A and B are shown apart, each in its own frame.
Chain A
Amino acid sequence: NAGVTQTPKFQVLKTGQSMTLQCAQDMNHNSMYWYRQDPGMGLRLIYYSASEGTTDKGEVPNGYNVSRLNKREFSLRLESAAPSQTSVYFCASSEDPQGPFLFFGSGTQLSVL
């Protein structure tokens, strides 16, 4: 019963480095999401994919790109990491864009020095 799987769990980057956060779900969900969690700010949506082949910007997309590789996988890429991107990143999925609630992965803790 894996649900939503994120890799890696922890990552430290230097300013300007790039990396890709991976996310996969095994629930046959159509919609997938990337959130970031910062202290005192709750979760904020970075990008989402309502269905395979589509992606849309969320509340805080600057500095990120996404790829919906197939129905299972939705990756988040930082092309040139900045200290402001230090955060905990969560991937989530739902049955469809109107699905009632989200299933979350366990998160990736990213530090940019």
Chain B
Amino acid sequence: AQSVAQPEDQVNVAEGNPLTVKCTYSVSGNPYLFWYVQYPNRGLQFLLKYITGDNLVKGSYGFEAEFNKSQTSFHLKKPSALVSDSALYFCAVRAPTGANNLFFGTGTRLTVIP
């Protein structure tokens, strides 16, 4: 069975500091991994994905994520946080075969403090 864990409900970081939002996963076979962001009263927006290839994936708005197979992790990072990055972030995983059924984590609320 597939599952995703986001161990932190809330992450606070000062503007300009680097940020990390953690995600670990469990899936049979090689995973497809995703990060989505949700701003207030909006649907989820795709940030980045890992399917195969380079373990460091770059996405929208300066975000990147590192796939670590041995630790089954896919942490989201950004070198310098902006106040506008404050939002709810979801990690998601799906198996490489079968229906496109994403399993989502419970979300991490990121607050960037001016």
Contact = CB atoms under 8 A, between A and B. Distances in A.
A42 B105 contact: yes
Secondary structure at the B interface, as helix, strand, loop or mixed, is loop
Contact of B90 (A33, A42, A96, A101): A42
Contacts of B41: 106-107
Contacts of A98: 100
Contacts of B102: 43, 45, 102
B73 interface: no
Interface in B22-44: 32, 34, 36, 41-44
B80 interface: no
A99 to B, nearest CB: 6
A45 B49 contact: no
A43 B43 contact: no
B46 A102 contact: yes
Contacts of B42: 106-107
B100 A94 contact: yes
B45 A50 contact: no
Nearest to A45: B101
Contact of B34 (A42, A58, A97, A101): A101
Given A92-B43, A102-B44, 14 more contacts: A31-B100, A42-B90, A42-B105, A43-B44, A43-B90, A45-B102, A98-B100, A100-B32, A101-B34, A105-B43, A106-B41, A107-B41, A107-B42, A107-B43
Interface of A: 4, 31, 33, 35, 40-45, 48, 50, 56, 58, 90, 92, 94, 96-107
16 contacts: A4-B43, A31-B100, A35-B104, A42-B4, A42-B90, A42-B106, A42-B107, A90-B43, A96-B100, A100-B32, A102-B44, A102-B102, A104-B43, A104-B44, A106-B42, A107-B43
